[in-house]
Structures are given as C-alpha cells and as structure tokens.
C-alpha cells in the first residue's frame, strides 16, 4: 500500500502541519520510499507469534506514593529574582514598546 498526495495532505491537515505543494510531492515520495524499505518485514510468518501489548508484561503502577513536603515561602521563591513588585516577579513586557 502506497500513499497518495491526497493521503499526505490529509495527514498534514490532521497534524496541523502546513505543507507547500512541492513539499507534499517530496514528502509523498519519501514516505513511499520508507514503505518500500519496510516491505520485507511483511514477508515474515507471524501467525504463531502472540501480540505484545506492552513491552514489559505484568508491569504494575510504578508511580511513587505522593508525599507532602514543605514548599518554599514566598520570600524564598522571590529571593533571587532580579525584580519584584507587590510580592510577584516583575518581568519586562514583550508586548509593549515601553519595556515595563
């Protein structure tokens, strides 16, 4: 099965990737070359191979339990700030010309 330019346009739209017409044709050719390179994989007899749903079978929740720890006080969090104002970080504006 090979991809058409329409397939590539659909995938690009779904993934919100803007492609120019020449990019679509190049990408279609590249993807079809990749599919061609992977074709030998389809020749293996895998009828007796059980599907693997997770690479590590029987893996349980590996998350640690939540532990309440004291956080920073506001004064500690602001201690290294180059500028503060009313208990907050003061940063230069990126939307105005004044730089405040």
Render each residue's pLDDT in the chain as its tens digit; 100 residues: 799 999 999 999 999 999 999 999 999 999 999 999 999 998 999 899 888 776 666 767 778 888 999 999 999 999 999 999 999 999 988 887 655 5
Domain count, the chain: 1
Residue 69 lies in a domain: no
Phi and psi torsions of 98, nearest 5°: -70, -25
Residue 20 lies in a domain: yes
Residue 80 lies in a domain: no
Range of the domain at 28: 5-42
CB-based contact 69:76 (threshold 8 Å): no
Q: Is the dihedral of CA 8, 11, 14, 15 positive or negative?
A: negative
Residue 24 lies in a domain: yes
Q: Provide the pLDDT for residue 20.
A: 95
pTM of the entire predicted model = 0.47
């Amino acid at each position: 099965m090979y991809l058409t330019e329409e397939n590539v346009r659909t995938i690009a739209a779904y993934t919100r990737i803007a492609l120019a017409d020449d990019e679509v044709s190049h990408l279609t050719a590249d993807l079809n070359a990749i599919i061609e390179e992977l074709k030998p994989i389809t020749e293996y007899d895998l009828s007796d191979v059980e599907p693997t749903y997770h690479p590590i079978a029987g893996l349980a929740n590996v998350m640690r339990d939540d532990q309440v720890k004291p956080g920073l006080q506001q004064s500690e969090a602001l201690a290294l700030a180059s500028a503060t104002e009313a208990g907050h970080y003061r940063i230069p504006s990126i939307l105005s010309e004044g730089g405040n």
